A and B are shown apart, each in its own frame.
Chain A
Amino acid sequence: MSLRSPPLADAHEAAGARFTDFGGWEMPVEFDSIRTEHAAVRDSAGKFDVSHMGEIVVSGPDATRLLQRLTTNDVTDLDPGEAHYSAITREDGVMLDDTVVYRLPAAVEGDYLFIPNAGHDEQMADRWREHTDEWGFDATVDNRTTEYGLIALQGPETPDLLSNETDADIPAMGRFEIVAAGVAGADCLVATTGYTGEAGYEILCPWDEVESVWNALDCQPCGLGARDTLRLEMGFLLSGQDFDPEAEPRNPYEAGIGFVVDLDTEFVGRDALEGVDVEGVDEKLVGLSLIDRGIPRAGYTVTTPDGEELGTVTSGTMSPTLGDPIALAYIPTDYTEPGTKLRVVVRDEPKKARTRTTPFLDR
Chain B
Amino acid sequence: MSFDVPDDLRYLDSHEWVRHEDGTATIGISEFAQDELGDVVFVELPGEDDELAAGEDFGVVESIKAVSDIYAPVSGTVVGVNDALVDEPELINEDPYGEGWLLEVALTDEGELDDLLSADEYRDQIA
A residues apposed to B, CB below 8 Å: 16, 29-30, 33-35, 225, 229, 293-295, 297, 317-318, 320, 347
B127 an interface residue at 8 Å Cβ cutoff?
no
- Bound state CA distance, A69 and B63, in angstroms? 43
Partner of A294, one of B42, B63, B86: B42
14 sample A-B contacts, Cβ–Cβ < 8 Å, listed by A number: A16-B1, A34-B63, A34-B65, A35-B64, A225-B38, A225-B65, A293-B42, A294-B42, A297-B67, A317-B64, A318-B41, A318-B64, A320-B39, A347-B60
Chain B: residues with Cβ within 8 Å of the partner, total of: 14
Interface digits, B13-39 against A, CB 8 Å rule (1 contact, 0 not)? 000000000000000000000000011
Determine the distance from Cα of A295 to Cα of B60 in the docked complex, in whole angstroms: 11
B62 at the binding interface (Cβ < 8 Å)? yes
Indicate if the CB atoms of A34 and B67 lie closer than 8 Å.
Answer: no
Chain B residues near A295 (CB, 8 Å)? 41-42, 62, 67
CB distance from A205 to the nearest CB of B (A): 28
A320 contacts B42, CB within 8 Å? no
* Choice from A16, A33, A317, A347 contacting B38 with Cβ under 8 Å: A33
**A74 CA to B21 CA in the complex, in Å?**
71
User: Chain A residues with Cβ under 8 A from B64's Cβ?
Assistant: 34-35, 225, 229, 317-318, 320
Question: A33 to chain B: which residues have CB within 8 Å?
Answer: 38-39, 93
A320 contacts across to B, CB distance below 8 A: 39, 64
Cα-based distance from A30 to B38 in the complex (angstroms): 9
Could you mark each residue 39-68 of chain B with 1 if its beta carbon is under 8 Å from any beta carbon of chain A, else 0? 101101000000000000000101111010
Known: A30-B38, A225-B38, A318-B42. 18 other contacts (CB 8 A): A30-B65, A33-B38, A34-B38, A34-B39, A34-B63, A34-B64, A35-B64, A225-B64, A293-B42, A294-B42, A294-B44, A295-B42, A295-B62, A295-B67, A317-B64, A318-B41, A318-B62, A320-B39
B113 to chain A, nearest CB (A): 29
Bound CA–CA A360/B86 (angstroms): 23
**Cα distance A318–B39 when bound, in Å?**
10
Q: Which 9 A-B residue pairings sit nearest by Cβ, starting from the closest? A: A318-B41, A35-B39, A34-B64, A33-B39, A295-B42, A295-B62, A225-B65, A34-B39, A318-B64
Chain B residues near A318 (CB-CB < 8 A): 41-42, 62, 64
Residue of B nearest to A297 (CB): B67
Which residue of chain A is the closest to B39 with respect to CB atoms? A35
